[in-house]
A and B are shown apart, each in its own frame.
Chain A
Amino acid sequence: MEKGSVTKAVDGVSVGISKGEVLALVGESGSGKTTLGRAAIGLVRPTSGRVLLRDGEAVVDVGEARGKKWKALRKRLQIIFQDPFSSVDPNMRVRDVLRIPLQAQGMKGGDEIDGKILAVVQRVGLPQEIIGDYVFQLSGGQRQRIGIARVLLFDPAFVVADEPVSMLDASLKADILRIIEREASENGTAFLLITHEMAVAKAISRRIGVMYLGKLVEVGPAGEVVRAPLHPYTQALIQASPAVDPGQKDQIRKVDVVGEPPRQTAHPAGCKFHPRCPYAMDVCKKTEPEMKEVSPGHFVACWLH
Chain B
Amino acid sequence: MRAVEDADISMDKGEIVGLAGESGSGKSTLALALMRLLTPPAATVTGEVKFEGQEILSLREEQFRESYRWKKVAMVFQGSMSGFTPVFTIGSQIEEVMRIQGDGGGDEAVEKLLRMVELDPSMAKRYPHELSGGQKQRAFIAMALSLRPQLLIADEPTTALDVITQASIMNLLKSVRRETGISILLITHDLALISEIAERIYIMYAGRIVEGGRSDGLLGHPRHPYTQGLLASTLTLQTTEIRGIPGVMPDLARVPQGCSFTPRCPFAMERCKTERPELRGVGEEQVACWLY
Contact = CB atoms under 8 A, between A and B. Distances in A.
Contacts of B171: 252-253
A139 B251 CA distance: 10
Contacts of A172: 22, 244
B242 interface: yes
B115 to A, nearest CB: 16
B174 A252 contact: yes
A140 interface: yes
Interface size class of A (residues with CB under 8 A): 35 or more
A162 interface: no
> Considering residues A174, A204, A237, A248, which has the most beta carbons from chain B within 10 angstroms of its beta carbon?
A174
A37 B196 CA distance: 33
A170 B189 contact: yes
A29 B161 CA distance: 8
Contacts of A253: 167, 170-171, 196
A172 B170 CA distance: 24
A252 B168 CA distance: 9
Contacts of A197: 163, 235
A255 B248 contact: no
Interface stretch (A92-100, A175-183, A284-292): A175-183
B132 A239 contact: no
Contacts of B195: 242-246, 248-249
A10 interface: no
Interface size class of B (residues with CB under 8 A): 35 or more
B219 A255 contact: no
A200 B235 contact: yes
Interface in B227-258: 229-231, 233-239, 242-245, 248
> Considering residues B16, B163, B166, B171, which has the most beta carbons from chain A within 10 angstroms of its beta carbon?
B163
A236 interface: yes
B164 A255 contact: yes
A177 B248 contact: no
Contact of B162 (A29, A204, A245): A29
Interface in B126-143: 132-135
Contacts of A257: 164
Contacts of B191: 170, 244
A199 B190 CA distance: 12
Contact of B233 (A170, A196, A200): A170
B189 A199 contact: no
B23 A199 contact: no
B192 interface: yes
Nearest to A176: B244
A142 B257 CA distance: 24
Interface in A236-276: 236-250, 252-253, 255, 257-258, 260
Nearest to B162: A28
Interface string B173-197: 0110000000000000111110111
A186 interface: no
A28 B167 CA distance: 13
Contacts of A129: none
Contacts of B150: none
A177 B244 CA distance: 9
B215 A249 contact: yes
Interface string A133-144: 000000111100
Given A28-B164, A260-B162, A244 B242 contact: no
A116 interface: no
A172 B22 CA distance: 9
A169 B174 CA distance: 25
B199 interface: yes
A226 interface: yes
Given A28-B164, A242-B236, A249 B243 contact: no
Given A170-B233, A253-B170, A244 B248 contact: no
Contacts of A174: 233, 235, 242-245
A203 B163 contact: no
B275 interface: no
Contacts of A240: 163-164, 166-167
A140 B189 CA distance: 15
Interface in B8-31: 16, 22-24
Contact of A238 (B132, B170, B237, B243): B237
A217 to B, nearest CB: 14
A8 B197 CA distance: 42
A28 B140 CA distance: 21
A199 B165 contact: no
20 contacts: A28-B163, A139-B248, A142-B248, A170-B235, A171-B244, A174-B233, A198-B163, A199-B236, A203-B235, A241-B163, A243-B192, A243-B196, A245-B196, A246-B195, A249-B215, A250-B174, A255-B164, A258-B164, A258-B168, A260-B165
Give the 8 A-B CB pairs with smallest separation, nearest first. Answer: A174-B244, A169-B22, A242-B192, A240-B167, A171-B245, A28-B162, A175-B244, A199-B235
Given A240-B164, A242-B166, A252-B174, 10 more contacts: A174-B233, A181-B242, A226-B237, A236-B164, A240-B163, A240-B166, A241-B237, A243-B238, A244-B195, A258-B168
